[in-house]
Structure 1
Amino acid sequence: MNSSTQPLNRLYVWCFLNLLTVQLASAQSALTTAKLHRLDQRITQLMDSAHVPGLSIAIIQSGKVVYTKGYGLTKADSTQPVTPATVFEAASLTKPVFAYAVLQLVEEGKLDLDKPLYTYLPYSDVADDERYQQLTARMVLSHRSGFPNWRNDRQSPHLSLLFPPGKRFSYSGEGFVYLQKVVEKITNQPINELMEERVLKPLGMTKSGFVWKPSFAANVAQPHNESGETEPKYKPQQANMAYSMHTTASDYARFILAIVNNKGLKPATVDQMLSPQSQLPKRFADSTTLAPDLFWGLGFGLERTPKATYFWHWGDNGAFKCYVAANRSRKDAVIYFANGSNGLDFADEILTQTLGGYHPAFGFLGINWREEVRKRTQAK
């Protein structure tokens, strides 16, 4: 070959490879667009059948938000559309955000995960049962406090233990309330102020809060019952780390990105947060039979399947429902919020069309994880 033609031939090869790369990227983009179009259509159908007026979703791939979308209306009899900036009640998705702040205190040496909480702050509500003195922050965050989810009379100053702390998994908002009081004591800060300072501001979650903010009113989702009828809107005046957070799909995606990108916590701390601390039963209401692939970490649920591991959480404030699931190694996630009582009925299908894979948490929660869908996703 003439040496003078070699640079020209290399140029031809370079142009061909670049053209091929562009064509492949365009094909992948078109496929992604088609998938998202089908997702939009399917979500709209699911919302209609479940009488859910509005929904907002954020999808993360490879550590970046690649899609946000609002569907339907903030209120069934209004014309205001839901957008990615619409504020929803986060319900129990509040708990992992609080866990994130608690683990920051652990890193700073201000709180010991395994030191009994009563040594920081005795709890008069349960002081007549000395077993509570075994309770630690680790047990609260992994739902092994021994407390019920909520006491029968929410106005009562008396709280009873169902079993000794640390014995087994039992989901409890009461445990988070006690840990909240401990955090306020050791930091000498109101919890709302602390959460704004440690989480919302650093992560740029500008449309979120743990108490009601007047700025929410311009674009807030209203709650709807199972028939799609509007109910009164809860506007918290006091922060509760079990359920009071208000946020948007876009803002909550910022929090999930902080987890998968080790922002605000050391990688070793995130490792611990997403490591099994307690094993879950196969069914939420049945503690007798343990699930081989379901666990709880420090703030999140964990699914271990043959092909992937996910961390997840659900939220249920009655007329508001929400769900998040994420794969840390791939840095993929989906988050959605719905303003209807039936908003979790189709969580399985949304995950099938976004994250894919098999999600045994739906069996634990009693969500509509249909057998044919399970078999199809397991075969992939």
Structure 2
Amino acid sequence: MQIKYLAGLILLAMGSAQAQSFPATSTATLPPDQQIEHVIHKLAPGIVVKGEAIPYQTLAATMAKFKVPGVSVAVIVDGKLAWAQGFGLKAADKKDRVNPTTLFQAASISKPVTATAMLKMVEQGMFSLDTPINTYLKSWQLPDNEFTKAEPVTLRRLVTHSAGLNVHGFPGYAAGAPIPTVPQILDGEQPANTEAVRVVMTPGSKWQYSGGGTTIMQLAMTDTSGEAFPSLMQRLVLAPMGMSNSAYEQALTSAKQNLAAAAHDEKGKVIAGRWHTYPELAAAGLWTTPTDLSKWAIELGDARAGKSSKVLSQATVNEMLSEQKEPSGLGPMVHGKDEAMYFEHGGSNEGYRCFVVYFPALGRGAAIMTNGDGGAFVYRPLLTALATAYNWPDFKPREIEAVKLDGKAAQQYLGEYPFPANSPKEKPPSVFVNLKKGELMITVPNFVPSTRAVMQTNGSLITPENGFEWAFTKDDAGRVIGIEFNGRKLPKKMR
């Protein structure tokens, strides 16, 4: 479905205004219950229009709009967990409510946590970041080709998504489906449901996100240590950091299933079997809570400052949180400089969306986990509310100027535009541009509900609710023939 392709693209629109100074805010001095009430009633879009009132929404209304049954949040202030709270239901077909110990699939947030363990193995002398990866692989080898003749695939390149590999992500395996081994996944052999992981461009030449690369790293870790991946992660990272409600378990053990939030599709329905299984443990297999993700973030921040070394040394963490291949550090994505520097990572598994961010110099951040395919549309305005309430240097609303269009001028943009499908076998979804009460509206069925779009001074449309930008392409006669989404050209207009 198109939502699988689009889910990660919301992160492209997360630009916001930068603050110039970062003093403590009044919100942080309120009791936790008042902090929570303030935040959950002040969700704002990432984009606001100059001269217009900010259209605040409540968390409950936003969850209902995007059909996300449950949300869990943990907030960090002054380098400590300030509060953690669950909202909504663990499953739409039951009455159990989300609480701070409810488990969610961390999806791709699994990757930077895995990277923490890999770097511990580097410190222990088991790995070198710049040695060809096949040196460490015993049960399987990455095939060489014309691209690897010039440059090798290494752990540094795997962990920074610059190894030149394909296979962006994984759909998981529905309940009852046969589960492949890691070598089968890497070779694309049945019952694997993704193509073979292969080098498709010169390693080191370009940043290209690859969960397939992280899966190669997983195999290198187990082949080298001789230890099963779940116990390896427990020993190296989860236990030392006190992440007591976390496990790289796929499938989830029966003892923990009652603690888990079920996955939901874009219509808010529980998916068959309640969740998918991800044998790609390093890339997508962590079950955890926002509180535990906060412990991970805080520990990295403390290690960076030389205050702790529960897992990694100060020198290693400084390298981990330094940009290697934009925007990747050694695991997390890193942005900003000095006090405004932060690391983050998002996650998107079938029926789960999540995000973690931390400003280590300021000791401020949050982890948000949801159990719905529409969860990115919930955590994005929630991040904006948190950024405003706790004065983060980034993620606050960005103000734009809008150009008013009359009805005649707006008519030229109306129509249906195809959107890229997830695979050649899929029918491309459509982007519809319509007019409602004199305003342009953009809809992507099953993903973006009908949403107001405003014309910017540069001639492109933006949908303030989600920050997506839509530019129009024209022929030599000035007629609109196509549309661009966040800088990406789409096929020509259908009608």
TM-score class, shorter-chain normalisation, is 0.7 to 0.9
Which of residues 274, 299, 312 is equivalent to 1:265?
312
Secondary structure class of the residue paired with 1:334: strand
2:220 is aligned to: 182
2:394 is aligned to: 358
Cα 1:27–1:227 shift into 2, 3 Å: closer
Q: Deviations over 1:184-226 (max 9, x none)?
A: 1221111111111111222222221111122212221001111
1:145 is aligned to: 163
Identity across aligned pairs (percent)?
Answer: 28
2:415 is aligned to: none
Secondary structure class of the residue paired with 1:336: strand
1:206 is aligned to: 244
Q: Distance in 2 between matches of 1:301 and 1:26?
A: 29
Which of residues 319, 323, 332 is equivalent to 2:351?
319
Q: Distance in 2 between matches of 1:47 and 1:372?
A: 14
2:111 is aligned to: 95
Q: Which runs of 5+ in 1 are unaligned?
A: 1-23, 280-294, 375-380
Shift of 1:130: 5.6
Secondary structure class of the residue paired with 2:284: coil
Equivalent residues of 1:301, 1:313 under 8 A apart: yes
Shift of 1:125: 6.2
Secondary structure class of the residue paired with 2:383: helix
Shift of 1:359: 4.0
Task: Kindly report which structure 2 residues correspond to 1:1-380, keeping only aligned pairs within 5 A, or say none.
Answer: 29-30=29-30, 34-41=34-41, 42-121=58-137, 124=140, 126-129=142-145, 131-132=147-148, 134-148=152-166, 149-150=168-169, 154-155=192-193, 158-211=196-249, 212-232=252-272, 233-234=274-275, 236=277, 238=279, 240-262=281-303, 263-279=310-326, 295-304=327-336, 308-355=340-387, 356-359=392-395
Cα 1:49–1:138 shift into 2, 3 Å: same
**Bigger Cα displacement from structure 2, 190-199 vs 51-60:** 190-199
Secondary structure class of the residue paired with 1:345: helix
TM-score (norm 1): 0.79
TM-score (norm 2): 0.61
Give the aligned residue type for 1:100.
T
Q: Distance in 2 between matches of 1:79 and 1:131?
A: 54
Secondary structure class of the residue paired with 1:278: coil
Equivalent residues of 1:209, 1:247 under 8 A apart: yes
Shift of 1:155: 4.8
Cα 1:71–1:25 shift into 2, 3 Å: closer
Shift of 1:180: 1.0
Give the number of aligned pairs: 332
Q: Deviations over 1:138-173 (max 9, x none)?
A: 101110111112589545784332211111100001
Q: Distance in 1 between matches of 2:115 and 2:226?
A: 18
Q: Distance in 1 between matches of 2:245 and 2:288?
A: 6
Give the aligned residue type for 1:120.
Y
Q: Distance in 1 between matches of 2:138 and 2:287?
A: 30
Q: Distance in 2 between matches of 1:123 and 1:86?
A: 36
Shift of 1:44: 1.8
**Bigger Cα displacement from structure 2, 177-186 vs 86-95:** 177-186
Q: Distance in 2 between matches of 1:140 and 1:27?
A: 40
Q: Deviations over 1:74-123 (max 9, x none)?
A: 01121100000001011001001100001111111111011111122268
Cα 1:312–1:208 shift into 2, 3 Å: same
Q: Distance in 1 between matches of 2:264 and 2:27?
A: 41
2:472 is aligned to: none
Shift of 1:45: 2.1
Give the aligned residue type for 1:267.
Q
Q: Which runs of 5+ in 2 are unaligned?
A: 1-23, 42-57, 170-185, 304-309, 399-446, 452-461, 468-495
**Bigger Cα displacement from structure 2, 69-78 vs 244-253:** 244-253
Q: Distance in 2 between matches of 1:236 and 1:354?
A: 32
Cα 1:316–1:134 shift into 2, 3 Å: same
Cα 1:318–1:139 shift into 2, 3 Å: same
Equivalent residues of 1:87, 1:246 under 8 A apart: yes
Secondary structure class of the residue paired with 2:81: strand
Give the aligned residue type for 2:311.
G
Q: Deviations over 1:22-74 (max 9, x none)?
A: xx999963487544213233222211111100010100111100010000000
Shift of 1:236: 4.0
**Bigger Cα displacement from structure 2, 114-123 vs 340-349:** 114-123
Shift of 1:257: 1.6
